[in-house]
Structure 1
Amino acid sequence: MYKNLAGRSGVVLAAAAVAQFLFALDMSVVNVALPAVRVALGFAPLGLSWVVHAYALTFGGFLLLGGRACDLYGRRRMIVLGLAVFGLCSLAGGLAQAPWQLIAARAGQGLGAAAAAPAALSLLTTTFGEGPRRVRALGVWSAVNVAGGALGVLAGGLLTEYAGWRWVMLVNLPLVAAALALVAAGVPAGDRLAGRERLDAPGAVLATGGIGLLVFGVVRTGTHGWESAATWGTLAAAVVLLAAFVLVESRTAAPLLRLGLLRSRWVAGANALVFLAAAGQFAAFYFVSLYMQQVLGMSAAAAGAAFLPFSTSAVAGTAAATRLATVRGPRAALVPGALLATAGLAWFAFISPDGGFLTDVLGPSAVTGAGLGLVLGPVAAAATTGVVPGEAGMASGLLNSSRQLGGCVGLAVLATVSAHRTGTAADAASLGDGYALGLAVTACLFLLAAVVAICVLPRHRAVTAVSHPLTSTGNRLEGTPS
């Protein structure tokens, strides 16, 4: 299926895929190790969650900035810088001797990922022109993204149980080295915008602050609750900053995020869809993992291995989506994929405290994974359809921000919904009931994603880019791959 992705463009694809696998892996690999981390470093119960939240906060908060920076300063520069920071912080985290050191390292990993992830995706959209080759390339990128998130649970369990928790951080180092070697081998250096356009500093401050406060407010609901004045105060401040960001972007000549980009039904629809899909995906991973460990009594390693059917079907779904989208366009895979994921998660909602892996997990995992693969396979192609090369990083940063924010908000909200159903009870029946409700709501999110795909995404494949004077195809891009 990917025989046409050869030569230098194949090296670019490999570099982007390894980088994305690394960042997706790191979203989930640490979760299973948290109990061991707490014992080893002496974390307070409330402080332990910041091992996860510090990464989500900086990754989500700086994605728009990272996306625009790679347009202005060069994709190769930003991916090398981001990977280097990510690798150094992974080493620091693996050697951490105190809680604050590990939290700081995780925050640094998020910064590195925010710089490199949009650059990796925009490398693909500028290397592969719109059409079958781009769809195939983004299909590979999406497959490793899905596989990285799912395999992170397996890797976290195996590494924690057999090598020690520090290896959930140190395992990143060979992946960083491989990605940097591929970048050096195949990514051209001069891929920045010609001219003297500067980074939109006011927009960068407002976007980073607004998104950061939004993520911060949401993740703190685990300790303060949704009814807390601190939670609503933080969220209100985030809304004010983001509203100011929209106002600034509408008036500046060189915006961090050109608002006209959102007039494209492909861009707007794909970002709304990926927000909903990420909210459902993150929450589903969370509930199914807890169900297997806390209700079925499986070990961390066994629970991680139980995600293999999900990973396999997700990769298969991504491959099928790539073939379908190549012939009929992204919408043809997104609609059935969202409906298939809805069916799989609705099946998951029937989990039982007296169930087992074969009866309650295997079947719905295969169906949900296939649906998720069909959704995530072509969504990047949809989100970058009609986007001019000079705004590829901008569109990539927006897509990654939508995914990160969707996962963060969805997990926080659905965890609260599940906990409300469970109450103070800790028995298997009550926990299972709460997880089942959470999975039922995730099914509703994917059903809403299907509605977005049907109503917002255009039926036709061809679109005309809404160009900008400074980034239209009529203005030269230095070193942009053809």
Structure 2
Amino acid sequence: MNAVRTQRARTARTARMARAASRAPRPGAVLAALAAAQFTVMLATSIVNVALPQIRSGAGLSDAGTTWVVNAYGLAFGALLLAGGRLVDLLGRRRVLIAGLVLFAAASAAAGLAASSGVLITARAVQGLGAAAIAPASLALAMELFPAGPGRGRALGVWGAVSGAGGAAGVLLGGAVTQAWGWPWIFHSVVLGTALVLVAVTVLVPPGSGRGSGGPSGRFDVLGTATVTLALTCLVWGLTTVRGTGWSDARVMGALGASAVLLAAFAAIEVRSPDALVPPRLLRAGRVAAGNLLMALLGSVWIALFFFLPLYQQQVLGSGPLTTGAGQLPFAAANMFGSVLAPLLARRIGARAAVTAALLTEAAGLLWLSRLSADGSYAADVLGPSVLVGLGLGAAFVQITAFAVEGVRPQDAGLAGGLVNTTRQVGGAIGLAALTTLAGSVTAHAPLSANAAEALTAGYRTAFAVSAAVPAVAAALAVLLTRRAGTPSGTAKPTPTATGPSGTG
């Protein structure tokens, strides 16, 4: 009799589990919601670029204030990503993602309703704070949903596609919305999109997802977090300020010097802390260290690309905001195709060969852009090279992200996501500061016989020529640094992520 009851109980339990499984959202739908969150973060990075002249006149901003409409978001985003990544692991990924989306939507609404420059810039900084929670939380949940292997490779392909598409869509949407309804609707549209993403995440991501712990004790490294956040703030602030003041400015030199001292202090703190914000085991796992170095190099030309191309189209070719935005569509399509192609290419020829080929493709496209003409056209000077850059950039981003999360322990997934986003943002800030300074110097020293368009084009050509060298160097480093995947002590050898059949790339 007892055996019959036990069998019936097991049958009933199995039936309940089957019903629950049938009601659970499919992994593809959950990944779509998480990718939409990442898309929103990337969209907000570039959506204001085309509309800056209208924002300046509409909000009564000075030259410095206009710059900080862009910089405030990037500064908060880049400086707080590590802290956001650790909180993701400590508090729960789904919970932090939802909180980040709510904060992001509220800040976007405040930016759209801003009646003064101070409110607008503050709202952009709070947007960056929300993004610093969204980016690592969504990536950590995606890693949890797709364990290491071919499935994760395909998921990262989707991730790369929406990341590149988000940046390009920001330029397109910014131009279209500004021309149709005015610049405040840039932020209103972000509110609407974020609300839809929030609903999708709430419905599709199960409440029990992402219950991670931060480490052996699960405590938050307050001192290390404060030190590295201040260090990154000084670094990003100094690099974004240099575009308007020059490298010799005392404030810039002071900020960069303070950043160096604080980063050294952070390293000393982390070595001694039992609950380090960036535990050494993270950098020893798989190819995490190599992936983050390569991502910093990739980011240094990625952000600059979205800065210089729209300027060339508007200031030299005379394109309007909408036309400039539409000009990003071929790049976005190529980027998405490269991202989807990346895991397939990695499985066929190996991860190391795939990332090297992608970086060299990007370098070729940037070198082609260095031949821009002052009396050229979009079809002749921009279309072809932007497609080539998009292909290489998309494929490289996916594979480098795979390196940066390879072999990471589940309790460090959020931090790994925060770290790789941090290196991309900081690399972007360094690259943009250096390249804009270089381009500005070349333009300022153009021959007296050159007109304004020729002088600007000379600066842009130089910036793209130098940019082409960066992925070429990264390709050489990829060959040297990704030969062997290290394994953290006390863990099993990681399963390959989007790599060749042997996992060695």
| TM-score normalised to structure 1 length | 0.93
SS in 1 for 2:354: helix
C-alpha displacement of 1:467: 5.1
1:9 and 2:27 aligned: yes
C-alpha displacement of 1:188: 3.1
Q: Choose from 435, 458, 462 the match for 2:483.
A: 458
1:443 and 2:468 aligned: yes
Aligned length: 464
Q: 1:272 matched to which residue of 2?
A: 293
1:362 and 2:383 aligned: yes
C-alpha displacement of 1:301: 1.2
Q: Choose from 68, 90, 101 the match for 1:72.
A: 90
Q: 1:51 matched to which residue of 2?
A: 69
Matches within 5 A, 1:201-350: 201-264=222-285, 266-350=287-371
Q: 2:426 matched to which residue of 1?
A: 405
SS in 1 for 2:119: helix
| TM-score normalised to structure 2 length | 0.89
Q: For the Cα contact (< 8 Å) 1:330–1:379, is it kept in 2?
A: no
The separation in 2 between residues aligned to 1:468 and 1:95, in whole angstroms, is 53
Q: Choose from 91, 104, 113 the match for 2:122.
A: 104
Change in 2 beyond 3 A, CA 1:238/1:468: farther
- Give the stretch that moved more between structures: 288-297 or 185-194: 185-194
Matches within 5 A, 1:8-27: 8-27=26-45
SS in 1 for 2:287: helix
C-alpha displacement of 1:173: 1.8
C-alpha displacement of 1:183: 1.7
1:121 and 2:139 aligned: yes
C-alpha displacement of 1:464: 6.1
- Give the stretch that moved more between structures: 272-281 or 261-270: 261-270
Q: For the Cα contact (< 8 Å) 1:217–1:234, is it kept in 2?
A: yes
Cα offsets for 1:282-334 (capped at 9, x unmatched): 11221211111111111121111111111111111111112122445432321
Q: 2:452 matched to which residue of 1?
A: 427
Letter of the structure 2 residue corresponding to residue 192 of structure 1 = R
The separation in 1 between residues aligned to 2:66 and 2:102, in whole angstroms, is 26
- Give the stretch that moved more between structures: 312-321 or 9-18: 9-18
The separation in 2 between residues aligned to 1:66 and 1:189, in whole angstroms, is 20
Q: For the Cα contact (< 8 Å) 1:265–1:456, is it kept in 2?
A: no
Q: For the Cα contact (< 8 Å) 1:293–1:300, is it kept in 2?
A: yes
C-alpha displacement of 1:174: 2.4
Unaligned runs of 5+ in 1: 1-5, 474-482
Q: For the Cα contact (< 8 Å) 1:119–1:393, is it kept in 2?
A: yes
SS in 2 for 1:215: helix
C-alpha displacement of 1:427: 0.9
Q: For the Cα contact (< 8 Å) 1:321–1:374, is it kept in 2?
A: yes
Letter of the structure 2 residue corresponding to residue 321 of structure 1 = A
Q: For the Cα contact (< 8 Å) 2:286–2:403, is it kept in 1?
A: no
The separation in 1 between residues aligned to 2:353 and 2:493, in whole angstroms, is 29
C-alpha displacement of 1:269: 1.2
Change in 2 beyond 3 A, CA 1:472/1:363: closer
Q: For the Cα contact (< 8 Å) 1:266–1:458, is it kept in 2?
A: no
Letter of the structure 2 residue corresponding to residue 168 of structure 1 = I
Cα offsets for 1:371-412 (capped at 9, x unmatched): 111111222212111111011011111000011111111111
C-alpha displacement of 1:450: 0.7
Q: Choose from 78, 94, 97 the match for 1:60.
A: 78
SS in 1 for 2:218: coil
Cα offsets for 1:189-248 (capped at 9, x unmatched): 343335752111001101111111110111111222111121111101011111111111
- Give the stretch that moved more between structures: 378-387 or 77-86: 378-387
Q: 2:206 matched to which residue of 1?
A: 188
Unaligned runs of 5+ in 2: 1-23, 495-505
Change in 2 beyond 3 A, CA 1:335/1:328: same
The separation in 2 between residues aligned to 1:243 and 1:80, in whole angstroms, is 34
The separation in 2 between residues aligned to 1:247 and 1:364, in whole angstroms, is 45
SS in 2 for 1:170: helix
Q: 2:417 matched to which residue of 1?
A: 396
The separation in 2 between residues aligned to 1:97 and 1:455, in whole angstroms, is 53
The separation in 1 between residues aligned to 2:483 and 2:320, in whole angstroms, is 46
SS in 2 for 1:171: helix
SS in 2 for 1:376: helix
Larger Rg: 2
Q: 1:31 matched to which residue of 2?
A: 49
Q: For the Cα contact (< 8 Å) 1:154–1:303, is it kept in 2?
A: yes
C-alpha displacement of 1:345: 0.5
Q: 2:156 matched to which residue of 1?
A: 138
Letter of the structure 1 residue corresponding to residue 212 of structure 2 = L
Q: For the Cα contact (< 8 Å) 1:74–1:189, is it kept in 2?
A: no
* Percent of aligned positions that are identical: 44
The separation in 2 between residues aligned to 1:292 and 1:67, in whole angstroms, is 37
C-alpha displacement of 1:8: 3.5
Letter of the structure 2 residue corresponding to residue 307 of structure 1 = Q
Q: For the Cα contact (< 8 Å) 2:407–2:493, is it kept in 1?
A: no
Q: Choose from 134, 142, 166 the match for 2:184.
A: 166
- Give the stretch that moved more between structures: 66-75 or 10-19: 10-19
SS in 1 for 2:206: coil
Q: 1:178 matched to which residue of 2?
A: 196
Change in 2 beyond 3 A, CA 1:7/1:467: farther
Letter of the structure 1 residue corresponding to residue 476 of structure 2 = V
Q: For the Cα contact (< 8 Å) 2:286–2:488, is it kept in 1?
A: no
The separation in 1 between residues aligned to 2:350 and 2:234, in whole angstroms, is 37
SS in 2 for 1:87: helix
SS in 2 for 1:188: coil
Q: 1:151 matched to which residue of 2?
A: 169
SS in 1 for 2:417: helix
Q: RMSD value over aligned CA atoms?
A: 1.9
Cα offsets for 1:3-30 (capped at 9, x unmatched): xxx9442233112100110010111101
Q: For the Cα contact (< 8 Å) 1:330–1:381, is it kept in 2?
A: no
SS in 1 for 2:192: helix
The separation in 2 between residues aligned to 1:157 and 1:185, in whole angstroms, is 32
